Chains A and B, each alone.
Chain A
């Protein structure tokens, strides 16, 4: 049994018997479900984003189309389909058309390696996590292509910002991925998930104290990779109109939008696999079911966990203000990079010296809960203090 990309392609398409025609047929059969899934992820995420932002700002959000505005995104999609496809007069037409495809393809291909459950994975590659990281880095060049070919200074500024940010944050992101690989001893996403079997405290985030820090680094870096607030400088509305996709309209704009939400899901799913046990629910009795039922439960658990992380990304976007470009670079190169390097080294030492036992995981959960409560207390106190200092009236909503 081999796990190379060519072997996977051969297995699915049965090329050796059917020749090239079966390749074309199989591409249609295998690409259709992913396309459908990406579209559904996009629909749900965009609806979630609008609802979460609305509730954070004490509004209702979309309410008219469908129950609680569930079909609003679909209506918007149909509107975008009917819009005129504009290309600026002095744009570089070929590159202008290629850019959205490039960005979407980068996200789309990553889905092939995400395990929804033990069997529900399109390609369980030997180098799964590296494949996702490498293919994801193609997005940057699509963004640069969009920004340059639009022949618009705001687009160009957005593209240059995106390139800086994505290339810099790729380093802490990859180091965080390496931490998970180190704990599991494999780069296949299925193996990494299975290494976290057992009770909830055998998940990698509770494996040792540094994995928790690594998760924070991964999460911050993934926000920057997705160009989400507080790192949304490439499309800063107040400065750059809407950055690299200023000139795009209609369906091409929709493809950029879909790719952004797809990327958010991919990043969250990888985070779940690396730190939160993938499709495993953390209860051995449920994880041991197996068969079609077990796989369906696994897929449900995996999608729920991923969407929870997507929701946290949205929560952060609508809570924190955008930071400046020099602050973005400072955060990456002066803080995240050294911290992640030190953490990676300490995780390696821990893996080598400490045996894995359950009691430590339980202690980690307890320590994290205590730390969280302590932080909450300090935070409450600080808010009280600032209220008395500024003598703000307490607001009741």
Chain B
């Protein structure tokens, strides 16, 4: 086994083990900390592919931003550890299986249809090409996503403000 395979399997374990831990853990704060491992593993896979910029963005946005905010939200609303309770008496198997199968089908077909190919040589530049593509060929999706995020931001602020104003009255 060469070193790339070793690193790949190490990173894949780092993605999968915490992912299962998130599902089976009952403490919601532990889940948020387990997520850290998964996100780091994905970032490691990007780095292995030579996509430094993408890997670092993963850390910057998901761990430094979203994961911290997730924990922040949990801690701001409850002071004690929050345990997840099972709502239904007996877990409903059939709907779960259908949804799971559908998601798996979508993901696998997307993976198979992606048209993977080997890029000759080693990456010479990690950020520049990405930036040029985002501002030329993919400018429309890029702008649509940014507008969408802005709308989400304004919507969230509006909902939060409305709640607090009603509470004050």
Binding site for B on A (CB under 8 A): 2-7, 15-16, 19-20, 23, 95, 125-127, 130-131, 133-138, 140-141, 144-145, 147-148, 153, 156, 159-160, 163-164, 166-167, 170, 187
Contacts and interface: CB of A to CB of B under 8 A. Distances in A.
A92 to B, nearest CB: 8
B75 interface: yes
B41 to A, nearest CB: 14
Interface stretch (B93-101, B103-111, B117-125, B140-148): B117-125
Interface stretch (B12-20, B62-70, B158-166): B62-70
Contacts of B125: 126
Contacts of A167: 64-65, 68-69, 72
Closest 8 CB pairs of A and B: A137-B64, A134-B60, A134-B56, A163-B72, A134-B59, A4-B50, A140-B68, A4-B52
A20 B68 contact: no
A334 B60 CA distance: 23
A164 B76 CA distance: 11
A22 to B, nearest CB: 10
Nearest to B74: A148
A138 B56 contact: no
B29 A148 contact: yes
Interface string B8-32: 0000000000000000000001000
Contacts of A15: 3
Contacts of A187: 127
A68 B71 CA distance: 45
Contact of A126 (B36, B52, B72): B52
Name which of B6, B68, B71 has the most chain A CB atoms within 10 A of its CB.
B68
A20 B4 CA distance: 11
A6 B48 contact: yes
A153 B48 CA distance: 41
17 contacts: A3-B126, A5-B55, A6-B50, A7-B50, A7-B122, A95-B33, A126-B126, A126-B127, A127-B56, A131-B56, A137-B60, A137-B68, A141-B68, A144-B72, A147-B75, A167-B65, A167-B68
B57 A134 contact: yes
- Most chain B CB within a 10 A radius of its CB, from A4, A135, A140: A4
Contacts of B29: 148
B136 interface: no
B126 A170 contact: no
Contacts of B76: 160
A7 to B, nearest CB: 7
Nearest to B57: A134
Given A126-B53, A145-B33, 15 more contacts: A2-B124, A4-B52, A4-B126, A6-B47, A19-B3, A126-B125, A127-B56, A130-B56, A134-B57, A135-B56, A138-B59, A144-B71, A160-B76, A163-B71, A167-B72
Contacts of A145: 33
Nearest to A159: B75
A163 B68 contact: yes
B64 A153 contact: no
A198 B56 CA distance: 32
Contact of A148 (B48, B60, B75): B75
A2 to B, nearest CB: 5
Nearest to B122: A2
A137 to B, nearest CB: 3
Contact of B63 (A125, A126, A138, A148): A138
A156 B79 contact: yes
Nearest to A10: B3
A126 to B, nearest CB: 5
A316 to B, nearest CB: 25
A229 to B, nearest CB: 22
Contacts of A156: 75, 79
A55 B48 CA distance: 51
Given A2-B124, A160-B76, A130 B69 contact: no
Nearest to B125: A126
A159 B60 CA distance: 19
B37 to A, nearest CB: 11
Given A4-B126, A125-B52, A140 B33 contact: no
Nearest to A187: B127
A159 B158 CA distance: 27
Interface-central residue, A15, A126, A134, A135, by most chain B CB under 10 Å? A134
Nearest to B126: A126
